[in-house]
Structure 1
Amino acid sequence: MRVPTIEGMTGEFAAWLRGRTDEELRALVTTRPELITPVPAHLEALAARAATPSAIGRALDRLDRFALAVLETLLVLGGTAEYPRLAETVGRALAPDDAGFDDALRRTVDRLRTLALVYGPDDELRLAPGVDKALEPPAGLGPPAAEAFRHHPPEHLAGILDDLRPYAPAADEEARGTARERLAALLADPAVVERVVAAVSPRARAALEALTWGPATGQVPNARREVRAATARSPMDELLAHGLLAATGADTVTLPREVALALRGGRVHRELRHRPAALDGRRRDPALVDRTAAGQAFTLTRHVEELCEHWGVDPPGVLRSGGLAVRDLRRTAGLLDLPEPDAAFVVEVAYAAGLIGSGGSVEGEWLPTPAYDLWRIKPQADRWALLAAAWLATERAPGLVGDRDDRDRPLNALHPDLRRPAAAEVRTAVLAVLAAAEPGLAAGRDAVLARLDWERPRRRGPYRDRFAEFALREAERLGVTGLGALSGHGRALLADGPERAAAALAPLLPEPVDHVLLQGDLTAVAPGPLTTELGRWLALAADVESKGGATVYRFTETSIRRALDAGQGADELLALLERHSATPVPQPLRYLVADVARRHGRIRVGTASAYVRCDDPAVLDEVMADRRAAPLRLRRIAPTVIISRTARAALVDSLRAMGYAPVAESAEGAVLVSRADARRAEPGAAPRTAPPAAVPEPHVAEAVVRAMRAGDEARSAALRHGEAPEGEPPRSPVATTLAVLQEAIRRGSRVWIGYLDSQGRATSRIVEPARLEGGQLTAYDRTRAAVHRFAVHRITGVSAMSAENDE
């Protein structure tokens, strides 16, 4: 696609920009910040950049349906119109009950001027350069008749004109111009079109009605056939013979724009509103919404904490593709007691917040990061705020987990291909729609999608709808919404950031408790959310049996041994239980701790490949006599020592499976303590987030406008004083050319050069040479107000400028 150049522009648009006030230019660069990245050298460059397809596309993507309809109407009117005519044409499509149109249209036109998509005074509004091509086709209309019949042979057009003669005014029979121009003029007359449409068959009129409001194209076999009204045998023949349809391909026909407008009764759009329809949905008690959302927020933070604690002890591996295996996700879902999609969401939120990352072995494991240790000591509300802010900004789409990519490969959780830059934009837009509703209104899916369609009609599509559905579901799981309505802390997150959101959520969360209720059946009941330290210790010393309003933990031989393996003693365990229990420690639990502690560590396992050591030979006699020990290839070398070719870790696990309680020891004979939080991933690159909106600060916008004004004045002065002298471009020998250029570089003076352009034509340039190397001259071209590189072999000659011209 060819980008408009400064030299190729008409200059009208640039002159209009130059006439804008500084305040209006600041508004332009603030609302379209892409135009000043980098800062244009002058206003001509700003006008050229504003006319590029990419810049226009980004500006149009920000428009709502009404603003886009105003631009489309102006395009249909020929790209220029007076304000009253524009208002009258747009107003034809308004619903009868749509009050406030006049004020809305004025605001919209002023906004389009601010965005430099429309320019000129009210008596001559114009589309900015390039906008017409970006809007094609407007409002579902086909091409103008002159373009639609462009490839029809003259004799074919003559036949159509002959069949239209009975319906044309007498004055048009002697109209001059080409056949295509006369046909376009006839179809531009609504009265002619109405008479022709009334004359064709009902089936032909039905075909026209199907194309009237778009799409304007259809499929017809042998569309380029030449037919006349007298010999027409089908509805398509009738329409082709009278020029109501134009063949644009071998099997494609289109409805000319003038015909469609006549059939629409002069309306460009079928129905139009200057404001979106009101959101509808169920009304909820705002206080109930906040409490429900707070419950979801609390649950999610607990799930993230459980995930990191489990993965810190038993991390899953990283797939070669970079994701999490399906079996590991299934296992994680079981540990968290969640469906797999919800577990995948918890994993993705933890990853987005930087709490988990890949590390560990050569193949890689998913482990908590050091950031998790800082996160878990924060208050509960601050934890949630960090997770919510990360979810809001992440470019990843957790809802795609389980889908398949273009090559039919599964998209696993944590897979790199889950990154979708549009996901963050749609997520923010969905929450903005919910924030626009009154507190407690739970807008339904269809209402949200309809509002998004109105606010950003050019960004609609199947992916946008899917991402919007993901956002609604994920916001509920995260606790940003409750019962479908935006919560108070959700509004604070959008409007004021994570700190205010945490402050709004904190009063709604239950206070952590630092005690449990020990029971005689070896269980402990947590009457509420536990403090972080107590929760981690209980997760080490007991197993979760059930969750709900109160979490039930069960003490078992395995769980007590797990705590002893982590370095705690029996007395320490009992002391912790007494300190954190609101009831006395039951005798069965004391017996269990004492029994496991008595047997724990009597057998020591080291490295031979491995050895087993025990101070009681009778215990080793029992081990050697056990048939289950045969695969371990044990050999006794002393009354209290057994060696084995089995690895130490495997030997410890096998002995534990046989009912013993061994511990591993180092080469020095010290007990190896295993800690649940010993493993962490190395800090890595943070997950990618959506870049913040690049809205320049007021002082930056002011400086940019000043710089462009100064550049404009300098360019104008350079053009006045930098015009090439009259006459033929200079010619000189190569040696002379190089010498003069080198002297000009040394003195910093201007020279007049002759230069062959890409077509071989000699042109004159006034340049200020800066560097001469590698067969290239780098110089500031004053005739074009830009730095250029000139090939030395294409310089025909050089002439020094006089002192008068050099001033």
Structure 2
Amino acid sequence: MSGTLALASTIAEMDRDALRALVARRRPQAAGTIADPIGLAAELLRSDSITRAIVPLERNQLSALLRFAAAPRSCAPDELQPLTALGLIGRESEQLLPLDEVTETVRDALISAGIEPDSLTAVGATPDAVTASHTSGATPAPEPTPRATAAVPHQAPDTSTWYSPALTAVGQAAESLRVLTLRPGKLNRNGTVAVASLRSLAEATSIDVDSVSRIVTALGHAGLTTPRSDEQLLLVSAAAGDWLAQDNRDRWLTLARATLAAIPAPLNIALTAADGDLAGAAAAIPHRFPLLPPAELAAATAFTAVAEQLGLTVSGVLSAPADRLIADDPAAAGELVARDTPGLAPGVYVQPDLSVVVPGPLAPADEATLSAISRPEQIGVASTRRISEASLAEGLEQGVTPDAARALFGRISLTGIPQPLEYLLASRAERIGDLVVDEHDGDVGRTRITVSRSDLAQTLLVDRALQHLQLTRPAPAPNAPVAMGTPIRLYSRLRADHVVSALTDARYHPTTSAALSGAGRAPGTRGASPAHTLDTAAIPIVDVSAAPQATQLTEAYSTLVERVYLAARAEPGTGEFTRRLELAMRDRSPVYVTAEARGQVRTFTLLPVSVTSGRLRATDQVAGVERTLPVNMITAVEPV
């Protein structure tokens, strides 16, 4: 009872903002049934609720809770204030009180983590210097090794090479977005991207799977992809088109700002004492946050890997532009990016083996067209791509005709158009329209394949690689005239996209009517969502000196805050006696109630029934009658 009353007193003293912050951080589960400070206090003192609250606490905060429980006067007010705001400390008669339920849960959690609770309260122990004392049978966690000590002069690491991974990551992100535009990723039921989709994306972009996973994470932070949970798909967002239209410098700044804004809270806090050493901060987290679950430790480690790949860090240390972004100085970060990264490349080198060497960034429009008609072999500051019949066929699907491809290379190729490429473009131009696949609404099948030549149609019908398509050719109507050069139509009961994939795999290079009608338009626009401008200034810069901001409350939690706030200030529900009576009513337990009137003092053993309009209605457990007492006459309420 005492813990509930003490915490209810703390809650009753909170203003609306403090109460909102408390509810946002603790997230009581029974929000709809809580009506007053007593109800909220009882919910927050549940063992599982306390455990959720203490898991993200730092070592020094856990130490403060234990020291306060052992000796309330041993803690300074500034140590207790954030813990009080978190609902882990009670109050009685203007005095802060430890809560037994909290103390017990903290000790149990530390022991379960292999840490001796008394080691956190040892004389002379400091938050950063105390060493965990582990119980028998547990394996001690290694302490983080500092990169510099007082005995060794600190030498700033060289992060000047940040631009190389940064430009590589931008190229990988652009390529991944273009592939996802054509082939959305699959999501698992928990919302993560399926491994099969990551492997498919890695194969299409020539990026290893781990790097692709980190790039997809960065794209998600920047809002360039969006999950569609109902269909379990990862789609490209409307903002992706605007991002792809930017130059590489602006693309990187967008990814960098969004990624830094998504830094995990424990890593954010640890970075304040790490002097820009993000990897060192991550290594210090297990010691600084001893109760943090493995999933959150893994999230911090994963973030450092994403930061390293994006060039936000070099060997774990923040690069100069990332340091300026964290310091909320985007102008300085932009100047550093402009200084350290190359401008547009003068062109590309097309080799006779149909490989294309891209020595640096291209104009966004040229990059998009080249990406549509070639496949990446290596993406970096300088990239290599390859042109093939299959890639030209895919380019046609995106609206790039052989003539448009020839015009592109005529403009940007520093080696001209080699004869093998000219032959490939001419051959592809001659075959445009030979094999056109469309959806069909009829009894003969779901897909129609229009073939320009009878010999090609006959080859398709007997090709064993296409047997699963079950291609059919309806017999012509009796006596129907057949004109010379009339296209031949075949049908399949499979979907059009399946037929296109099967024909492509069999090296027939089909196209669609939509691609033919859209030939010449900008690549990557097919099926795109309506575009909107991605305002990078709206992406918050993380402030490593600030505590994590409270999450926006749902309507249910906002209503809860208002109910508790008003109940704490309603007549007569603001006094300690009233809260004791309310708790007795909740527990259906009798209490000793002392009342004074006209100089006479009497004590009753009562089972409270209600407290309304400033009066207590209760059943007298001794006399067996119902009594009504004015609350302002009550001088004491004690448990039986």
Counterpart of 1:600 in 2: which secondary structure?
coil
User: What is the CA–CA distance in structure 2 between the aligned matches of 1:570 and 1:329, rounded to whole Å?
Assistant: 31
Post-superposition offset of 1:533: 1.9
1:584 equivalent in alignment to 2:452:
no
Matches within 5 A, 1:331-346: 331-346=200-215
Which among 232, 235, 243 is matched to residue 367 of structure 1? 235
The residue that corresponds to 2:490 in the other structure is 644
Given that 1:605 and 1:663 are in contact with CA atoms closer than 8 Å, whether structure 2 keeps it comes out as yes
Given that 2:248 and 2:361 are in contact with CA atoms closer than 8 Å, whether structure 1 keeps it comes out as no
Given that 1:561 and 1:597 are in contact with CA atoms closer than 8 Å, whether structure 2 keeps it comes out as no
The residue that corresponds to 1:430 in the other structure is 267
The residue that corresponds to 2:181 in the other structure is 312
Given that 2:396 and 2:511 are in contact with CA atoms closer than 8 Å, whether structure 1 keeps it comes out as no
1:755 equivalent in alignment to 2:620:
no
Given that 1:349 and 1:391 are in contact with CA atoms closer than 8 Å, whether structure 2 keeps it comes out as yes
Post-superposition offset of 1:461: 5.0
TM-score by length of 1: 0.51
In structure 2, runs of 5+ residues without a counterpart are 27-35, 86-93, 131-143, 477-481, 532-539, 553-561, 578-594, 602-611, 635-640
1:273 equivalent in alignment to 2:126:
yes
Matches within 5 A, 1:378-527: 378-392=246-260, 427-438=264-275, 444=280, 448-450=282-284, 453-454=287-288, 456-457=289-290, 459-460=291-292, 462-496=294-328, 504-513=336-345, 515-527=347-359
The residue that corresponds to 1:612 in the other structure is 450
The residue that corresponds to 1:177 in the other structure is none
Larger Rg: 1
The residue that corresponds to 2:604 in the other structure is none
Counterpart of 2:342 in 1: which secondary structure?
coil
Given that 1:380 and 1:506 are in contact with CA atoms closer than 8 Å, whether structure 2 keeps it comes out as no
Post-superposition offset of 1:331: 1.7
Say if 1:712 and 1:109 are closer, same or farther in 2 by CA, change over 3 A.
farther
Given that 1:513 and 1:530 are in contact with CA atoms closer than 8 Å, whether structure 2 keeps it comes out as yes
Say if 1:268 and 1:671 are closer, same or farther in 2 by CA, change over 3 A.
closer
Question: Partner letter of residue 538 of structure 1?
Answer: L
The residue that corresponds to 2:96 in the other structure is 128
User: What is the CA–CA distance in structure 1 between the aligned matches of 2:198 and 2:550, rounded to whole Å?
Assistant: 37
Question: Partner letter of residue 126 of structure 2?
Answer: R
Post-superposition offset of 1:640: 2.4
Question: Partner letter of residue 288 of structure 1?
Answer: D
Question: Partner letter of residue 217 of structure 2?
Answer: E
Question: Partner letter of residue 76 of structure 2?
Answer: V
User: What is the CA–CA distance in structure 2 between the aligned matches of 1:452 and 1:52, rounded to whole Å?
Assistant: 26
Supply the RMSD in Å over aligned alpha carbons. 5.7
1:288 equivalent in alignment to 2:158:
yes
User: What is the CA–CA distance in structure 1 between the aligned matches of 2:190 and 2:58, rounded to whole Å?
Assistant: 40
Say if 1:518 and 1:135 are closer, same or farther in 2 by CA, change over 3 A.
same
User: What is the CA–CA distance in structure 1 between the aligned matches of 2:64 and 2:236, rounded to whole Å?
Assistant: 53
Given that 1:312 and 1:680 are in contact with CA atoms closer than 8 Å, whether structure 2 keeps it comes out as yes
User: What is the CA–CA distance in structure 1 between the aligned matches of 2:419 and 2:346, rounded to whole Å?
Assistant: 22
Given that 2:352 and 2:418 are in contact with CA atoms closer than 8 Å, whether structure 1 keeps it comes out as yes
The residue that corresponds to 1:196 in the other structure is none
Given that 1:453 and 1:460 are in contact with CA atoms closer than 8 Å, whether structure 2 keeps it comes out as no
Given that 1:600 and 1:661 are in contact with CA atoms closer than 8 Å, whether structure 2 keeps it comes out as no
Say if 1:214 and 1:443 are closer, same or farther in 2 by CA, change over 3 A.
closer
1:330 equivalent in alignment to 2:199:
yes
Counterpart of 1:525 in 2: which secondary structure?
strand
User: What is the CA–CA distance in structure 2 between the aligned matches of 1:626 and 1:117, rounded to whole Å?
Assistant: 76
Post-superposition offset of 1:391: 4.1
Which among 522, 526, 533 is matched to residue 365 of structure 2? 533
User: What is the CA–CA distance in structure 1 between the aligned matches of 2:173 and 2:247, rounded to whole Å?
Assistant: 14
Question: Partner letter of residue 612 of structure 1?
Answer: T
Post-superposition offset of 1:7: 12
In structure 1, runs of 5+ residues without a counterpart are 19-24, 39-43, 87-107, 119-125, 143-212, 217-260, 395-423, 684-688, 697-703, 729-749, 767-780, 785-807
Question: How many pairs are equivalent?
Answer: 518
Given that 1:516 and 1:526 are in contact with CA atoms closer than 8 Å, whether structure 2 keeps it comes out as yes
Say if 1:292 and 1:286 are closer, same or farther in 2 by CA, change over 3 A.
farther
Post-superposition offset of 1:310: 0.7
Counterpart of 1:288 in 2: which secondary structure?
coil
The residue that corresponds to 1:109 in the other structure is 76
Spell out, residue by residue over 1:59-87, the C-alpha distance to the aligned partner (whole angstroms, 9 max, x if none). Answer: 977875456546644544xx456xxxx6x
User: What is the CA–CA distance in structure 2 between the aligned matches of 1:546 and 1:676, rounded to whole Å?
Assistant: 21
Question: Partner letter of residue 4 of structure 2?
Answer: P
1:679 equivalent in alignment to 2:539:
no
User: What is the CA–CA distance in structure 2 between the aligned matches of 1:724 and 1:37, rounded to whole Å?
Assistant: 42
The residue that corresponds to 2:170 in the other structure is 301
Given that 1:71 and 1:127 are in contact with CA atoms closer than 8 Å, whether structure 2 keeps it comes out as no
Given that 1:4 and 1:51 are in contact with CA atoms closer than 8 Å, whether structure 2 keeps it comes out as no
Given that 2:378 and 2:385 are in contact with CA atoms closer than 8 Å, whether structure 1 keeps it comes out as yes
Say if 1:613 and 1:276 are closer, same or farther in 2 by CA, change over 3 A.
same
Matches within 5 A, 1:691-770: 693-694=549-550, 755-756=617-618, 762-764=626-628
Question: Partner letter of residue 269 of structure 1?
Answer: A
Spell out, residue by residue over 1:502-538, the C-alpha distance to the aligned partner (whole angstroms, 9 max, x if none). Answer: 5654533333436212233333211113332222211
Question: Partner letter of residue 370 of structure 2?
Answer: L
The residue that corresponds to 1:628 in the other structure is 462
User: What is the CA–CA distance in structure 2 between the aligned matches of 1:552 and 1:37, rounded to whole Å?
Assistant: 49
Post-superposition offset of 1:540: 1.2
Question: Partner letter of residue 241 of structure 2?
Answer: D
Post-superposition offset of 1:493: 3.7
Q: Which has the higher contact order (CA 8 A, sep 6+)?
A: 2
Question: Partner letter of residue 372 of structure 2?
Answer: L
User: What is the CA–CA distance in structure 1 between the aligned matches of 2:182 and 2:551, rounded to whole Å?
Assistant: 45
Given that 2:225 and 2:240 are in contact with CA atoms closer than 8 Å, whether structure 1 keeps it comes out as yes
Counterpart of 1:561 in 2: which secondary structure?
helix
Post-superposition offset of 1:678: 1.7
User: What is the CA–CA distance in structure 2 between the aligned matches of 1:318 and 1:36, rounded to whole Å?
Assistant: 29
Given that 2:597 and 2:633 are in contact with CA atoms closer than 8 Å, whether structure 1 keeps it comes out as no
User: What is the CA–CA distance in structure 2 between the aligned matches of 1:304 and 1:516, rounded to whole Å?
Assistant: 20
Question: Partner letter of residue 628 of structure 1?
Answer: V
Question: Partner letter of residue 266 of structure 2?
Answer: A
Say if 1:136 and 1:449 are closer, same or farther in 2 by CA, change over 3 A.
farther
Moved more, 527-536 or 428-437: 428-437
User: What is the CA–CA distance in structure 2 between the aligned matches of 1:624 and 1:57, rounded to whole Å?
Assistant: 71
Say if 1:127 and 1:369 are closer, same or farther in 2 by CA, change over 3 A.
same
The residue that corresponds to 2:605 in the other structure is none
Say if 1:692 and 1:575 are closer, same or farther in 2 by CA, change over 3 A.
same
Post-superposition offset of 1:29: 7.9
Given that 1:604 and 1:663 are in contact with CA atoms closer than 8 Å, whether structure 2 keeps it comes out as yes
User: What is the CA–CA distance in structure 2 between the aligned matches of 1:215 and 1:658, rounded to whole Å?
Assistant: 66
The residue that corresponds to 2:22 in the other structure is 34
Given that 1:35 and 1:49 are in contact with CA atoms closer than 8 Å, whether structure 2 keeps it comes out as no
Given that 2:614 and 2:632 are in contact with CA atoms closer than 8 Å, whether structure 1 keeps it comes out as no
The residue that corresponds to 2:583 in the other structure is none
Alignment identity in percent? 22
Say if 1:351 and 1:284 are closer, same or farther in 2 by CA, change over 3 A.
farther
